[in-house]
A = this chain, B = another copy of it.
Amino acid sequence: MATDTVTPTDASDASGYVQPEVDVPALTRLLDGRYAEVRNLVRSNLAAYSSVLEDAETLSREDYRERVKEIVVEMAGTGQTGMGFPEEYGGGGDIGASIAAFETLAFGDLSVLVKVGVQFGLFGGAILQLGTERHHEEYLRRVVTGELMGCFAMTETGHGSNVQALGTVATYDVATQEFVITTTREDARKDYIGNAAEHGEMAVVFAQLEVGGEGRGVHAFLVPIRVRDGEGEMVPAPGVTIADDGLKMGLNGVDNGRLWFDEVRVPRENLLNRFADVTPAGVYESAIENPNRRFFTMLGTLIQGRVCVGGAGINASKVALTIAVKYALRRRQFEASGEQEELLLDYGMHQRRLLPLLARTYALHFAQDVLSASLHDVLTGVREDEHTQRELESRAAGTKALGTWHGTRTIQECREACGGAGYLAENRFAALKADTDVFTTFEGDNHVLLQLVAKGLLTDYASDFQDMDQFGMVRFVAGLAVDTVVEKTRVHGLLERVRDLLPGGDEWDQEAGLLDPEYQLAMYRFREEHMISGAARRLKRGIDNKMDPGVVFSRVQDHVIGAARAHMERLVLEAFVEKTRALPDGDQKVALSLLCDLHALSGIEADRAWFMEHGRLSIQRSKAVSREVSSLCRKVRPLAGDLVDAFGVPEEMLRSPELIGDLVPMRG
């Protein structure tokens, strides 16, 4: 169903190009994939609770928090939020489904989303992944129903990214067989902890374990933080001090708070002991000898949170794009040659602003699909070798960074593309902007996450990968021949093949091949490999010149992060190309291919300076890329309405009467 056949397009141009038509329901099925059922369950739950979008604006913060809690518990009753837990505890036993459910929640109120994430992903996830049967038996059923609300108390005011340096301490007291939890300095208070200010009864607290005077690194403990007083009111447990984080930029339906522990005692059994334990007599035991590795193994089991946040960023973008595209298909501005004003989406600049973001949203959606399938396989044990596990962590980190930055950027551009009307709260952008803003820094700061990706690439997930901090990584890489680094990278060998495929020099100026996915992928792979080896070379050179590793890292940091980005961009493009290729021939495939080309070439265009600097784009060809992007925008433009409809954002989640409601005349 092409949406607008009267608009000037390339629909039947001289070159014989025929505009494809999009089958919207079929495209929705493709996007929803194997989890269509659970996604539809969430869609209908969102529609049922759509009044929360207004509650967010009209209720007091107190009442809004209560309302969000109610909704979370009621949604738990539908099974939607427990998909990731084992069936014996009332869960759905399907990790992939749990991610699909969470992502889809991002179409609606994001306080509900984040509260679900805190309760079931972080708190419940930590018990599931770091605890053992005794914890599962005792707690999981009540966690899954939402009866037992809890916190994930890792971040401290002084340490968010570098969590190995946390200042909370848990000392084992062999006399009473208890752990004694203490906040050792003011900036070691737990901070920004969801569910802490109001609803949490218990917290998974990350603290430095000390047994017999020896530090054993960060471990997780189940700590009751609230108890019922004589009158049945919930009050802070003895030794626990709780404060409210107060008003936030957004997500004010989530009760973030601070926690201090003053010699809080919990039984020995409250150590989440899947990876390490302390015997009653005070002997520390762990199957993983190296303490760094132990710590990162623990963290590794928690990556589901990152996968979920990345998906949420991508799905929040879909809401913004749906509104902005629909608006641009209705709103007219300035007379064209004739009598009527032009539709916004018929302006070339407007196409350039929105359509590459639309294409990238599709690309990231499919990349996220690959990631969550891979997470599912690893967590269900289909694949469990360590290299796969490390790669998965890296991919989760990188996809989270790209997905959440994309969310921030897309929501901003869409807001601006809707003008003053986009500024009214009832039009979703206010909430989308404010609520998603923290996505780029929580569950791992995006820059720190990309450094993690880079570390994996540069060390090929070497056996001591997990032991290395960033300076360790500098020394490790510097200790290798650069060729070794390149050899270790997974795309090894491409450099040469790509060089043949991509003749440089200004004589090679024909446009042929720009729309060949093999060409596009070769460009992305070349960039990735070149940037990884470039970063390695720079690190090595710095150390060889006797510079301090800290200074070396600081100076090479943007190259390191650039390499990680390039790696992730290649993975994203591969996911889109593979998805498109697998489609049967026909209009749908043509349409998706247009979008995939637009994504691939927009990416090359954005970084064309780099490609020119490295001899992979001639001046003529660089200009040709820009022309092609504009041409693809014109071809995608008539499909834009269908392409956003296929996201399947429930109508109730769009609101926006000022933008897409009845007041605005229909497109003609």
Contact = CB atoms under 8 A, between A and B. Distances in A.
A443 to B, nearest CB: 10
A446 B416 CA distance: 9
Contact of A441 (B349, B416, B437, B445): B416
Contacts of A561: 349
Which residue among A337, A341, A423 has the maximum number of chain B CB atoms within 10 Å of its CB?
Answer: A423
Interface string A188-227: 0001100000000000000000000000000000000000
B336 A555 contact: no
Contact of A249 (B347, B433, B612): B433
A162 B622 CA distance: 36
A663 B186 contact: yes
A479 interface: no
Nearest to A249: B430
A437 B249 CA distance: 13
Given A419-B441, A419-B445, A469 B334 contact: yes
A27 to B, nearest CB: 27
Contacts of A609: 608-609, 612, 622
A438 interface: yes
B248 A430 contact: yes
Contacts of A191: 420-421
A665 interface: yes
A470 interface: yes
Which residue among A157, A346, A613, A664 has the maximum number of chain B CB atoms within 10 Å of its CB?
Answer: A613
Interface stretch (A83-91, A309-317, A543-551): A543-551
Copy tally for this chain in the complex stands at: 2
A412 interface: yes
B555 A348 contact: yes
Contact of A437 (B342, B423, B549, B619): B423
Contacts of A337: 471, 548-550
Given A334-B469, A470-B334, A609-B608, A248 B425 contact: yes
B245 A336 contact: no
A534 B334 CA distance: 24
A179 to B, nearest CB: 27
Interface in A530-566: 548-551, 554-558, 561
A508 interface: no
A424 interface: yes
Given A423-B249, A423-B438, A433-B433, A335 B554 contact: no
Contacts of A57: 247
A232 interface: no
A120 interface: no
A186 B612 CA distance: 53
A192 B342 CA distance: 23
A411 to B, nearest CB: 11
B430 A247 contact: yes
A647 interface: no
Interface string A34-57: 000000000000000000000001
Interface in A320-361: 333-338, 341-342, 346-349, 352
Nearest to A56: B247
Interface residues on A, range: 35 or more
B423 A441 contact: yes
Nearest to A608: B609
A134 interface: no
Interface SS of chain A:
helix
A415 interface: yes
Contacts of A155: 420
A408 interface: yes
Given A548-B8, A548-B337, A438 B420 contact: yes
Contacts of A247: 57, 424-426, 430
Nearest to A189: B663
Contacts of A8: 548, 550-551
Nearest to A615: B619
Contacts of A550: 8, 336-338, 342, 346
Contacts of A250: 423, 430
A440 interface: yes
A162 to B, nearest CB: 5
A23 interface: no
A557 B160 CA distance: 45
A184 interface: no
Interface string A550-591: 110011111001000000000000000000000000000000
A334 B429 contact: no
A607 B362 CA distance: 27
Nearest to A349: B557
Contacts of A430: 247-250, 434
Contacts of A437: 415, 423, 433
Interface string A419-462: 11111111001100110011011100111000000000000000
B347 A245 contact: no
A165 interface: yes
A383 B249 CA distance: 46
Contacts of A548: 8, 336-337
A161 interface: yes
Contact of A349 (B335, B558, B615): B558
A101 to B, nearest CB: 25
Given A334-B161, A420-B155, A249 B557 contact: no
A272 B380 CA distance: 75
6 contacts: A8-B551, A246-B426, A249-B424, A420-B441, A423-B438, A555-B630
Q: 4 tightest CB-CB pairs across the interface, nearest first?
A: A336-B550, A249-B430, A609-B609, A247-B425
Given A246-B425, A347-B557, 16 more contacts: A160-B420, A187-B663, A187-B664, A192-B421, A248-B424, A334-B469, A336-B548, A336-B549, A337-B548, A346-B554, A348-B556, A348-B557, A352-B558, A430-B434, A612-B619, A613-B622
